[in-house]
Structure 1
Amino acid sequence: MRHLHTRTTRKSCKARRRVIGALTAGLLCATGLAVPTATAAPVTASPDDGLALTPPMGFNNWNSTHCRAEFDEAMVKGIADIFVEKGLKDAGYQYVNLDDCWALPTRDANGKLVPDPVRFPNGIKAVADYVHSKGLKFGIYTSAGTKTCNPAGFPGSLGHEYSDAQQFADWGVDYLKYDNCNNQGVDAKLRYTTMRDALRATGRPIVYSICEWGENKPWEWASDVGHLWRTTGDISDNWGSMLSILKRNLPLAPYAGPGHWNDPDMLEVGNGGMTDTEYRSHFSMWSVMAAPLLIGSDLRSASEETFEILGNREVIAVDQDPLGRQGTVISAEGGRWVVAKDMADSSRAVALFNESGTAQRITTTAEAVGLPAADAYTLRDLWQHRSHNTAGTISATVPAHGTVLVRAWADPKWAQHPPAVELGLEGSPMVEAGRTTTLTSTVTDLGRTTARRVSVTLTGPEGWTLEATSPTTSPALPTGRTLRTKWAVTAPEGTPTGSYDVTLRATYHSPTGVRVDSTLPLTATVVTPPPSGTSGLGDLPWLSATNGWGPVERNTSNGESAAGDGHPITIGGVVYDKGLGVHAASAIEYYTGGACETVTAEVGVDDEEGAGGTVAFEIWANGTRAASTDTLTNAMPAQPITADVTGAQVVRLVVTDGGDGIDSDHGDWAEARLSC
């Protein structure tokens, strides 16, 4: 981890986003572009030491505490206690790791590292001994440079590798995270190989985590150097950051395996910047990618929902599968991702991941994810902890930013499970207050057996009217058949705009009489039609907005990670009063209600990023791309873009990274206007 988010200058934040170059053209696109998977790559032998045969699991304090005073001996011991008390140790979490700021800023007279006596009054060995007494393992941090990444300038290990490695071994360290700051330009392979040799010379088994942010493509050379390597810059506790890191790590599946893992950075689960639905997606996708699972939240104040997510043993089993395969992309279109992971028992773990801001149906088949032909399959939902049979379809309506994670296999005992039944909703759940909207619910039998005595209900907020205008029951649904029910949905006059919970429920019985209750949580959005005439999009409410770095800014540039820190929108030296400031990959959706005709803007890379940045702009209407630009750079003046959006219910503004990875990709929708 770079820790550069502790610095205040724009230059350092820019450096923090400097990650790997082009991995796969279009991969970071937030639209429906197909995503090619990585080609097969030769992987050299991993360290022959028997370490990290499955991805390391544990804790690191950085994401929750940084260098604050609360990071101390008592905290670290408390985390070890919680691992035992809350069952995390039994679930597979092993490592309790310190990050930066554990040492004094200077070495002692003998050149040794000195633990901070305020934070660690009994020294590091005492903390390691306590962690070991709990049956856990202990990790520490330093940098492959003259100083660590913290601005306070704690000593790094460049030039002190053998002395520091022996000191770590003497303290009882089991895991070293080796960062990349202040490296004085020394070749990355040399820096990281030297520490590898120093660790081996101690004779102590120490898992070696290479944290050089993917800048030198360590997946191509480090499999016999370290046990894991960071593939990206630092993660932040927000959806856009998690999503962009996920997309950069996914194509690297061929390089991962027992003893050598792609590391997309630590978990943010429980830190408060995302919803529980988003955190379940975070945990699901890290597990299907066989990523290290290092908890980054302060477990002393974690919610029960956080412990439920982190402690889901069925999901953990996907991550820790001994075959050691990273999941690969089966399809990625319109924000609907299917990622499948080969498992040691010949089953497949399948993630149906919805990156978009609205619920979407995501579907695949047993054949597509690599299962052999069979009459039927068992389908295990790893979050619902329920098993069903399927005739071969693997499908679900996935909530916005949600993930359905299943495990599927050809099973001669499939008939002992009830049929899988998919719930869905046709039509866009956008409601204008005081006006009736028609929605259609669907209940579809995906199983090999018949679903019997099927009934469905749709409920919403108090005061709303949700009336069925067609049958809500069916005596039987054979394989592939669907019960469709129309609903007249009305939000009371005066209902404020915003999102409201709506729940679709179905009840059915298996052929043997087993009752199954199924629930699909959905969101209905109360919307207001845009005003007549021409309006600035920087002044209109949006349905949803995702951004690759910080929030979308209204009428200013993107700035940095905080809200409201942008600058006047400036492209090619021209300053614009109105518009939207974003950072690739970005998507902003507006409700247009079929009443608008055109979207216009002047677009380009904001001048605040100097010579950096390559972006492309797209305008989508009802899921169809209506206009786009070529890749634009900072050296280019603003380019006009116009799209015909006549009749569209939803308009989406998209900015992609130009196909070369995210680096200073600040995009401006200058003078963005909607005509209605």
Structure 2
Amino acid sequence: MSLRRTLALLFSAVLLTVAAQLLSLSTAQPAAALGNGLALTPQMGFNDWNAYGCNVSESLIKSTAQAMHTNGMQAAGYSYVNIDDCWMTHNRDSGGRLVPDPAKFPDGIKGTADYVHALGLKLGIYEDSGTATCAGYPGSLGHETTDAQSFASWGVDYLKYDNCNNTGVPAQTRYTSMRDALAATGRPILFSLCNWGQENVWTWGAGVGNSWRTTGDISPSYSSMLSIFHSNVGLASYAGPGHWNDPDMLEIGNGSMTATENRSEFSLWAEMAAPLITGTNIASASSDTLSTLTNSRVIAVDQDPLGKQGTMVSSSGGLDVLAKPLANGDVSVALFNETGSTATITTTAAAIGKTGASAYTLTDLWSGASSTTSGTISASVPPHGTVMYRVAGGTTSGGGTSVTGELHAVGAGKCLDVPNSTTTAGTQVEIWSCNGGANQTWTHSTSDQLTVYSGSAQMCLDAYNNQTTPGTKVEIWPCNGQTNQQWTLNSNGTVTGVQSGLCLDVTGAATADGTLAQLWTCNGSSSQRWTLA
């Protein structure tokens, strides 16, 4: 066995021991990310439950997928078309497998998935971690392996896993069993935990699923939306690329929600880096509903590759200010008026972490209008409304210019890694399965360096010998302040060398452990997209 493999096994054993100790503490810390390469930005899509309840069918899913394909939603980033409860028969077959209701799904889930995939979209499905689903259909408790194999064979891309009829088995046990069963299939399946915020799921959810519900079910009313916002907004420290707090599906277009309240929900969910799963009738959605759901400026905040959930800067008398640092150094600010009367909400550039400029540019993310300010950020906000700005200029403390975490290679689903944890100058970096080690922990500093290790062992990511040609190797080298050690984290997920202008690239777009990193001409491929968190 190689030294690398021995160290990896030892490290895994240590992690398991530490994890067990942490689970015994009442103040558990956030778990490490699942690392399946999915949901590096919050998932976007559709789920049928809010608008249709149990009235799901193949025709509904297909018509919704077709509508998303043609009405601008798919182009805006919505990729999942998710089936909720009631899709199956009440009994398993003789082999113990789930059976799609032949009346509702005459082509089966596989046929439905094929149709959705042909449009360039992905299919999601629902199951439950108990003995029965919430609507009384067979649950997956005790059938995790068989059911995961069925989902994979059908071409399912997403599993929403509910919490009904759980017989008192701890949630972490039940959800971990399905996590392992999904992983064993070899098919990438986004795993959405729906245990209603019970058992402090945010403290362990990152190691089990790609997102987790932080609350009970939402309903299509302002009061419900407001309550869920308050429950979710304080959990920012637990979220990041691949693992998100989920305040439940969007109710935009449903119930008694007004256009102003719809825009507030969309703004707040984006500011909180929440999954954007719409639950309305897409095929007959109004132009106002569609324009809200496809606002590219707001979506860009939700999908920002830095992966930070916005936090509450101030909240007084129902007048809230939230700030979310973005990958390019901008900050998204949401001014939310919870009250029933128009109010002026004010904050400052300094309060949201911006300093060092005589003027800052404010872009209103709903109107698109731009303005400048010397530091005051203020707006008259209607009742239940939200004004959302993108603030540019100066430097950002705690934002996109000073971040520590794993540098995830999006295309490969791996992490940028120093081989064998060496500290030898000139060692070329590679990608490797994410493991949370010090050799995979990078800091993007205020001077645009990407550093690894700390203290006397600290090294910088370095373009070999100041070269600026495609194919230049990327190595570790003692930090020296030169421009071949400066890197820009861009909003599109690329990492560019300040000296060369070339992109940090996984050689040959390969995905195998040990593939070397290099500089290459920027081309927009997934092998040049990275997230640091």
TM-score, with length taken from structure 1: 0.54
**Are the equivalent residues in 1 in contact too, given 2:355–2:394 (CA < 8 A)?**
no
For this pair of structures, how many residues does the alignment match? Answer: 369
Q: Which residue of 1 aligns with 2:161?
A: 178
* 1:411 positional shift: 6.2
How far apart, CA to CA, are the structure 2 residues paired with 1:273 and 1:102? 28
Q: CA deviation at 1:139?
A: 0.3
Change (3 A) 1:354 1:51: same
Structure number with bigger Rg: 1
User: Which residue does 1:239 correspond to in 2?
Assistant: 222
Structure 2 residue matching 1:218: 3-state secondary structure: helix
CA distance in 2, matches of 1:259, 1:300: 30
What secondary structure does 1:132 align onto?
A: helix
Amino acid across the alignment from 1:90: A
Q: 1:67 aligns with which of 43, 54, 57?
A: 54
For residues 577-596 of structure 1, the C-alpha deviation after alignment (integer angstroms, 9 at most, x for no partner) is xxxxxxxxxxxxxxxxxxxx
Question: Is 1:293 aligned to 2:276, yes or no?
Answer: yes
The residue that corresponds to 2:74 in the other structure is 89
- Report deviation, 1:43: 2.7
Map 1:137-216; keep pairs closer than 5 Å.
137-150=122-135, 153-216=136-199
Contact conserved, 1:138 with 1:174, CA < 8 A, in 2?
yes
Contact 1:378 1:411 in 2 (8 A): no
Aligned twin of 1:352: 335
5+ residue gaps, structure 2:
1-26, 396-533
Higher strand share: 1
| Aligned-partner Cα distance in 2 for 1:404–1:249 | 20
Q: Distance in 2 between matches of 1:136 and 1:76?
A: 11
Task: Report the equivalent of 1:98.
Answer: 83
Q: How does 1:310-329 map to 2 (within 5 A)?
A: 310-329=293-312
Alpha-carbon distance in structure 1 between the residues aligned to 2:236 and 2:351 = 18
Which residue in the other structure is 1:228 paired with? 211
More helix by share: 2
**What secondary structure does 2:354 align onto?**
coil
Distance 2:191 2:31 in 1: 17
**Cα shift at 1:117:** 1.1
Match of 2:104 in 1: 119
Partner residue of 1:258 out of 241, 251, 272: 241
Paired with 2:91 and 2:256, the residues of 1 have a C-alpha distance of: 35
- Percent identity reads 59
Residue 371 of structure 1 is matched in structure 2 by 354
What SS does structure 2 have at the residue aligned with 1:159? coil
Per-residue deviation, 1:373 = 2.4
For 2:256 and 2:87, the matched residues in 1 are separated by 26
Contact between 2:356 and 2:394, CA under 8 Å: does it hold in 1? no
For residues 533-570 of structure 1, give each alpha carbon's deviation from its aligned partner in whole angstroms, at most 9, with x where no partner exists: xxxxxxxxxxxxxxxxxxxxxxxxxxxxxxxxxxxxxx
Q: Deviations over 1:404-434 (max 9, x none)?
A: 011001169xxxxxxxxxxxxxxxxxxxxxx
- 1:363-393 deviation line (CA, Å, top 9, x unaligned): 0001100012210000000000111111111
Confirm or deny: 8 A CA contact 1:46 1:260 kept in the other structure. Answer: yes
Measure, in 1, the Cα distance between the counterparts of 2:288 and 2:205.
Answer: 37
Distance, in Å, in 1 between the alignment partners of 2:258 and 2:297 is 21
The one of 350, 354, 370 aligned to 1:387? 370
Distance 1:49 1:252 in 2: 22
Instruction: Measure the CA separation in 1 of the matches of 2:75 and 2:30.
Output: 32
**Amino acid of the structure 2 residue aligned with 1:109:** S
Q: Of residues 43, 46, 53 in structure 1, which corresponds to 2:30?
A: 43
Q: In structure 2, do the counterparts of structure 1 residues 76 and 198 end up closer, same or farther at CA, with 3 Å as the change threshold?
A: same
Deviations 1:629-674 (A, max 9, x none): xxxxxxxxxxxxxxxxxxxxxxxxxxxxxxxxxxxxxxxxxxxxxx
* Partner SS, residue 43 of structure 1: coil
Alignment-mate amino acid for residue 203 of structure 1: G
Q: Counterpart in 2 of 1:410?
A: 393
Amino acid at match of 2:133: T
Rounded to whole Å, the distance in 2 between the matches of 1:297 and 1:411 is 40
Separation in structure 1 between the aligned mates of residue 268 and residue 296 of structure 2, nearest angstrom: 15
| 8 Å CA contact 2:354, 2:394 repeated in 1 | no
Residue 235 of structure 1, CA deviation: 0.1
| Partners of 2:314 and 2:321 within 8 A in 1 | yes
The two structures, once aligned, show a CA RMSD in angstroms of: 1.2
- 1:300 aligned counterpart, secondary structure: coil
> Structure 1 regions of 5+ residues with no counterpart?
1-39, 413-676
The letter of the residue matching 1:92 is G
Report what 1:77 is aligned to: 62
Deviation of 1:339 after TM superposition, in Å, equals 0.5
> Which runs of at least 4 in structure 1 moved beyond 3 Å after TM superposition?
none
Matched residue, 2:202: 219
Mapped to 1, the partners of 2:292 and 2:394 lie a distance apart of 28
* Aligned residue in 2 for 1:454: none
